Amino acid sequence: MDVLRSESTASDDRSTTPAVELAETRRRPGPRAKRLLDLYLAAYSSATNEFPYWYTRRYMQLDGEIPVVRRATALKEAFSHLTPTIYPGELIAMGKAHYYRGSFPMPWLSEAYYMAKEDELYQAALAKGATSADQVSRFGSGGGNVTASFGKVVSIAGKFGIRQEEVPALLAVARSWRGKSVDDLGHRYEQMVPGYPRKEEIMRSIVCMFDSGFTLPQGREVINYYYPLQHGFDGLLALLDERRAEVAGRADGDGLVGMNRLYFYQAARLVLEGIQAWITNYAGEARRLETREADPVLRQEYGELAECLEWIAHHPPRTFRQAMQLCWTAHVAVLNEDCISGLSPGRLGQVLYPYYRQDIQAGELTDPEALELLEVLRVKFTCLDCFASMGVVGGVLSGNTFNNLSLGGLTPDGQPASNELEELILEAGIRCASPQPTLSVLYDEKLPEQFLLKATECTKLAGTGYPAWVSNQTAMNFLLDQFGREGMTPREVRAWAIGGCLETSPCSWMELRLADRSYPIPGGSGQPTSVGVHFVSLPKILELVLFDGLDRRTGRRVFEPHGQPLESFEQLFECLQRYFSQAVEVLTRTNNIQHDIWRKNNMAVFHSLLKPDCLDRGHHIGELGYRYNGTFNIETCGTINLVNSLAALHTRLYRERAFDLEALQEAILHNFGYRPADQLGSYSLADQQKAEGGERFDRIHHLCLTAPKYGNDDPQADTMLARWEDWFCAMCRTYESLYGKPLYPCQISVSTHGPMGAATLATPDGRLAGTTFADASMSAYPGTDRNGPYALFTSATCWDHSRSQNSQLNLKLHPSVVQGRTGTRKLLELTRNYLRRGAFHIQYNIISSQTLRDAQQHPENYRGLMVRVAGFTQYWVELGKPIQDEVIARTEYEGV
Amino acid sequence: MSEQPTAWIFDIQGHAVHDGPGCRTLVFLSGCSLRCRWCANPEGQLMRPRLMVAANRCADHCTRCLKACPQGAIRLDPLGTPGKRLRFDRSLCDRCDDFPCVTACYHQALSICGRQIRLDDLMRILQRDRSFWGPEGGVTFTGGEPLVQADFLIAALRECHRSWMHTAVETCAQVPTADLLSALDSLDWLLVDLKQMDPARHRQGTGVDNRLILDNLRAVASSGWSGRLVIRLPLIPGYNDDPVNLAATLRFLEEIGAGELEILPLHRLGQSKYEQLGMADPYVDQSPPSQERVEEIRCFFAAGGIACHCGGDRPW
């Protein structure tokens, strides 16, 4: 048996080759990051009125000014007046507001939603359906959410605390935007769209989740740090002066908007000045703290921080730390300019690599120092809050801000783009586990095994669900298809990154020169994504088909009766297509109007300056200054409940004729004989309780539940998915955004499967009324995937994912499946072999349902627990209960 | 293809990571030649469909299964607690073929475990799964005792090898020696349980003595087979974790020249299956061995020159 012995040794040798640390123990943040993270965990989401006050005051003084200059002047005023605060131990400073976890409303977008419920503005918003999503959305009541007022803190918009004495001014500022905000002005014009009343009914019935142009008009995109990094703010001002002089009074062949270039350059200049003043105020605060600090270590830190800020307020960064501070400053500046979720730093490890490499080689930086900076940067990102309505922040985002950092991918030359700094970013993600920035690996077959195993280790050990794994090739195919018409090349497409949750976003390579060397760095060059039609509830559309356009939950008519007897599956499918198209038609047009109002009065100025090619072209985002503009989309939710419902209808109703349509309708209206979910307080199918006399629906419910289900490699269900995707992916392209480009599908649920499920009756797949839909777009409905992950993967890849901006599959694994060194490698195999099939995304929760149940019972013991929901990671205690129930119910793959 | 080999199976699991190298698909063949008291897969002991009753799903208002059963095997216990009002006469159920009660059940409380599968259907599933295995993975036949259906198993192994799949078999070795040896022809890995060295104690725990098992292990070890033999010790507290048995096990490993031992500590994950089958679980109150104890035993074998591992330490 010597043979056996030697083979065993050989295998051991193989497994030690990767020099990755594979210790199983959870690693901890360094003391500095830990202090700052603990401070975050103790902090409340806090709102201030500072920015809105100064912005509004200046804006209102400038009646008659050119809109872009007017806005820039107001932004400059607001940035210059923000109170700087620096917390002890911070190496990277600056934030959205002076609170540790601060944010503020932007009433110029929409002002009604954060008014007191009795306020007439709020009531008006309610009447037009703009706040219907708020009513079915739930925030988690734990963590830093201020869901109820206490002491002298008033809860606004369901999540944020504001000091009582600031409330009157907050409301006065908000009221001054009445009739002027994007929301109000857009509403005036959207009503001119034929069939507008249907849009209100669509919003009211939660067929659609929320409006686009005044909620989160930007985001789900990748920022570009190149220009400030290369030129510094003074250098940019000089460039703007130069360009301004060139174009003043010239149309250069463009009789429509050629003259506008002058105003854009002037506006960009003004905002830059405001941002410089803002940074300088922080530098001043650091100097002030330096003079009064007794502790010599802290005193020196304040001095170094002041020096860093003073430098980057004017000049291009020279060191890794300065470059990181400048990127962070630019990031926060963009977030303060507009209401944004999902502003992704992109491939930050590749952007900062030139500085890292230079400092390491010069001996001026060590890996532990770089790691500490990366850890504290995580805390800064985690502190970001996004102030928007409860339906948006709670119902869609679960309070998450989606600052997704991408890793890996390819270089312009098609070589692996991962580097040592990215491995440190992964290590920081393991040690300083926090929701932001969440991480995504752009998986490519060319990436080194060492890097992939390090990323897999992060998936395993961070316990947060990141990194997400996305297929580089599938994404690039999508991007070339969508942006080829705007000139995207195979070289350029390689610069892409994830924007927001899982939004494949176009990027570009920019040549960064540092100390006589040139580095192509990737950065965003496209418009926001996840703009356009926000989350259409597919199961709700099917419900409306079954009830001839009438919402039986609210008693309101959403669509004109289709008048079809639904005698065949084909007839039913046609009605589904018709209703879906009708919803998309009116939503596309109203949202185009909202975004058009936004671009006229509320355009991005600083953000435009950052993105290629606004600086060259002299046009901001609203005038197609960006390199890629075809980014608007149609989002859906509940794909798998639709697919399972179609499979049940096809099999049971139409083929077997096991029951007739009337019997099904009756069963749906009676929730298959179960009590309503909200009475019970649980939104998980397993917990639902039978109502008295409910047994008469037992048979039909049984037939629906046992009908073919997606996720089992069962062609009877999978063909429904393939058929739906085939039609849906094509139909999106027949609609056009305000920028004259075709729309595309976006298939991620974020958290909408909670509130949208809450507004949907029982479905033909056996799901009960009010319960949460299946998460994501490729996850199976909890408990229905009975044949293991390989069957699920086979079902999921029965269609071409590259026809959609994304697809999403979340898998819950029991920790025993990934145990040990070999467990890491097997987890990589699982990931890789799914993505090799052309799938777009997979992500894991490696936690037992038992732990999650305990966390629901005893939240006080789980303040730091994070889970992956659908495209994002969030603290368990900050999730609403419907989403918690859904995560618990997910099928847990154990592999015993 | 009229003569397709067919087998009784009770499960197929994708992405199994514990029973052989890499990511694997596990095929659970029904029927077993032992009756281990700690059995984790009691539903696989018989080569026939088994009725599983998930009491937590049973609806109190419903007696459809009772009415559907022509044998009268189900009766109502008026004193039963909710979900446990129905009593099943398992001696009758274990002779049933068509299970009208399962068809009648509207609540997915009753289900059948165990079905027949044709070799070509099994191969279709394996051909699908193999694209997810990665370079090291493959198929592991387990059970039950897979060699109870030796003809099918050998045909399946041959077919898998012909398709360049990595094959493993997990066996208790209480099988005809000729069957075991001819399975080796198309086999890469063999995982064999060694439960107890004392014949009488072996009979106590499993229903038979261990003579055939030990002889089979000797036969495999001296067969010149070039695959990898992994002996596994299911560690059952109070049954086989005593120094005498451990020392005897070590001596036996030395005797046959086996260099590797995996410890499988008793686990209770099969507990609910006993309830669903209406069987008494003899180990219901037995807790798994402590980590410290497992580590002590691992060290004992390691000191004896055996590559001994457990759980996450396993080298594959």
Is B59 in Cβ contact with A790 (below 8 Å)? no
Is B229 in Cβ contact with A836 (below 8 Å)? no
> By the CB < 8 Å criterion, does B13 face chain A?
yes
Would you say how long chain A is, in residues?
896
pLDDT band, very low/low/confident/very high, at B145 (cuts 50, 70, 90): very high
pLDDT band, very low/low/confident/very high, at A7 (cuts 50, 70, 90): very low
User: Residue A847: its pLDDT value, please?
Assistant: 85
* Catalytic, out of A208, A308, A501, A637: A501
Min Cα–Cα distance to chain B from A837, Å: 9
Angle at A581 between CA A576 and CA A584, to 5 degrees: 130
Give the sign of the dihedral formed by CA A312, CA A314, CA A317, CA A323. positive
Angle at A557 between CA A556 and CA A563, to 5 degrees: 145
Residues 704-733 of chain A whose Cβ lies under 8 A from any Cβ of chain B:
705-706, 713
Is B137 in Cβ contact with A11 (below 8 Å)? no
Cβ atoms of A377 and A326 within 8 Å: the answer is no
Of A25-29, A100-104, A140-144, B20-24, the one with minimum mean pLDDT is A140-144
Is A789 in Cβ contact with B229 (below 8 Å)? no
Q: What percent of chain B has a predicted confidence (pLDDT) above 90? A: 83
Is A705 in Cβ contact with B134 (below 8 Å)? no
> By the CB < 8 Å criterion, does A8 face chain B?
yes
> By the CB < 8 Å criterion, does A10 face chain B?
no
Amino acid letter, residue B78: P
Is B17 in Cβ contact with A695 (below 8 Å)? no
Angle at B202 between CA B197 and CA B204, to 5 degrees: 150
Chain A environment of B106 (Cβ under 8 Å): 698-699, 701-702
Please, which residues have CB within 8 angstroms of residue B229's CB and are 6 or more apart in sequence?
A1, A4, B189, B190, B192, B220, B221, B258, B260
Chain A residue whose CA is closest to B224: A1
Q: Give me the mean pLDDT over the B28-52 stretch.
A: 95
Give the sign of the dihedral formed by CA B100, CA B106, CA B109, CA B114. positive
Of A835-839, B119-123, B197-201, B280-284, the one with minimum mean pLDDT is B280-284
pLDDT for residue A593 is more than 90: yes
pLDDT for residue B151 is more than 60: yes
Cβ atoms of A435 and A373 within 8 Å: the answer is no
Q: What is the pTM of this model?
A: 0.94
Residue with tokens 């589904």: A576
pLDDT for A174-229, tens place per residue? 999 999 999 999 999 999 999 999 999 999 999 998 888 889 999 999 999 999 99
Residues 35-74 of chain B whose Cβ lies under 8 A from any Cβ of chain A:
40, 59, 61-62
What is the value of ipTM here, to two decimals?
0.95
Nearest to A8 among B17, B108, B260 (CB): B260
Of A2-16, A44-58, A560-574, A788-802, the one with minimum mean pLDDT is A2-16
pLDDT for A46-63, tens place per residue? 999 999 999 999 999 999
Buried/exposed code over B171-195 (b: 16+ C-beta within 10 A; e: otherwise): bbbbbeeebbebbbebbbbbbbbbb
pLDDT for A109-134, tens place per residue? 998 888 776 676 667 667 777 777 77
Best of A787, A833, A892 to disrupt the B interface (most B CBs within 10 Å) is: A833
- What residues pair up with B51 in beta bridges, in sequence order? B112
Q: Within its chain, how far is the Cα of A375 from the centroid? A: 21
Which carries the bigger pLDDT value, residue A565 or residue B315? A565
User: Residue A394: its pLDDT value, please?
Assistant: 67
> By the CB < 8 Å criterion, does B134 face chain A?
yes
Chain B environment of A5 (Cβ under 8 Å): 259-260, 307
Best of B56, B61, B105, B132 to disrupt the A interface (most A CBs within 10 Å) is: B132
**Alpha-carbon distance A514 to A509, whole Å?**
15
SS (H, E, C) A724-747: HHHHHHHHHCCCECCCCCECEEEC
The mean pLDDT of chain A is: 92
Min Cα–Cα distance to chain B from A841, Å: 15
User: Residue B69: its pLDDT value, please?
Assistant: 96
**Alpha-carbon distance B312 to A817, whole Å?**
9
Residue of A122, A398, A128, A339 lying closest to A215 (CA atoms): A339
pLDDT for residue A420 is more than 60: yes
Across the beta sheet with B138-143, the strand order is B115-118, B6-16, B24-29, B138-143, B167-171, B189-193, B228-235, B260-265, B307-310
Residue with tokens 């410890």: B263
User: Residue A25: its pLDDT value, please?
Assistant: 66
Q: Where are the alpha helices (DSSP H) in chain B?
A: 64-68, 90-93, 100-104, 119-133, 150-162, 177-184, 199-206, 211-221, 243-256, 271-277, 291-303
> By the CB < 8 Å criterion, does B108 face chain A?
yes
pLDDT band, very low/low/confident/very high, at A19 (cuts 50, 70, 90): very low
Cβ atoms of A686 and A889 within 8 Å: the answer is yes
**Alpha-carbon distance B197 to A120, whole Å?**
84
Residues 246-305 of chain B whose Cβ lies under 8 A from any Cβ of chain A:
256-260, 267, 269
Is A830 in Cβ contact with B23 (below 8 Å)? yes
Chain A environment of B133 (Cβ under 8 Å): 829, 833
Amino acid letter, residue B66: L
Amino acid letter, residue A824: T
Is A833 in Cβ contact with B134 (below 8 Å)? yes
Cβ atoms of B50 and B94 within 8 Å: the answer is yes
pLDDT band, very low/low/confident/very high, at B296 (cuts 50, 70, 90): very high
User: Residue A210: its pLDDT value, please?
Assistant: 87
pLDDT for residue A798 is more than 50: yes
A501 is catalytic: yes
Q: Give me the mean pLDDT over the A805-826 stretch.
A: 91
Min Cα–Cα distance to chain B from A323, Å: 41
Which carries the bigger pLDDT value, residue A20 or residue B33? B33
Please, which residues have CB within 8 angstroms of residue B117's CB and are 6 or more apart in sequence?
B6, B7, B9
User: Residue A548: its pLDDT value, please?
Assistant: 98
E strand intervals along A151-205: 153-156, 160-163
* Catalytic, out of A337, A423, A427, A503: A503
Residue with tokens 């809860």: A155
pLDDT for residue A633 is more than 80: yes
Please, which residues have CB within 8 angstroms of residue A609's CB and are 6 or more apart in sequence?
A227, A236, A268, A271, A272, A615
Is B221 in Cβ contact with A820 (below 8 Å)? no
Residue of A498, A515, A505, A361 lying closest to A441 (CA atoms): A498
CB–CB contacts below 8 A, A to B: 116
**Alpha-carbon distance A701 to A167, whole Å?**
51
What is the DSSP annotation of A539-550? HHHHHHHHTTTE
Neighbours of B53 (CB within 10 A): 25
State residue A301 phi and psi, 5-degree precision: -60, -45
**Alpha-carbon distance A464 to A721, whole Å?**
30
Of A70-84, A527-541, A607-621, A836-850, the one with minimum mean pLDDT is A836-850
Q: Give me the mean pLDDT over the A702-716 stretch.
A: 97
**Alpha-carbon distance A870 to A881, whole Å?**
15
User: Residue B2: its pLDDT value, please?
Assistant: 56
Q: Give me the mean pLDDT over the A18-30 stretch.
A: 59
Min Cα–Cα distance to chain A from B158, Å: 23
pLDDT for residue A3 is more than 70: no
Buried/exposed code over A82-117 (b: 16+ C-beta within 10 A; e: otherwise): bebbbeebbbbbbbbbebbbbbbbbbbbbbbbbbee
Neighbours of B59 (CB within 10 A): 17
Residue of B27, B25, B30 lying closest to B14 (CA atoms): B25
Residues 829-868 of chain A whose Cβ lies under 8 A from any Cβ of chain B:
829-830, 832-834, 836-837
**Alpha-carbon distance A231 to A240, whole Å?**
11
pLDDT band, very low/low/confident/very high, at A24 (cuts 50, 70, 90): low
pLDDT for A149-162, tens place per residue? 889 999 888 889 99
Inter-helix orientation angle A182-190/A569-601, to 10°: 130
Chain B residue whose CA is closest to A691: B61
Cβ atoms of A388 and A215 within 8 Å: the answer is yes
A273 is catalytic: no
User: Residue A4: its pLDDT value, please?
Assistant: 30
SS3 assignment, position A535: strand
Chain A residue whose CA is closest to B134: A829
Give the sign of the dihedral formed by CA B276, CA B278, CA B284, CA B289. negative
Nearest to B229 among A4, A702, A817 (CB): A4
Is A829 in Cβ contact with B22 (below 8 Å)? yes
Encoding tokens for residue B160? Answer: 């898998």
Give the sign of the dihedral formed by CA A558, CA A563, CA A569, CA A575. negative
The mean pLDDT of chain B is: 94
Encoding tokens for residue A871? Answer: 């495209």
Min Cα–Cα distance to chain A from B63, Å: 11
Is A833 in Cβ contact with B259 (below 8 Å)? no
User: Residue A758: its pLDDT value, please?
Assistant: 93
Of A64-73, A692-701, B297-306, the one with minimum mean pLDDT is A692-701
Neighbours of A57 (CB within 10 A): 15
pLDDT for residue A884 is more than 90: no
Encoding tokens for residue A816? Answer: 């025993």
pLDDT for A235-257, tens place per residue? 999 999 999 999 999 999 999 99
Residue B239 burial (C-beta neighbours within 10 Å; 0-12, 13-18, 19+) = buried
Which carries the bigger pLDDT value, residue A602 or residue A677? A602
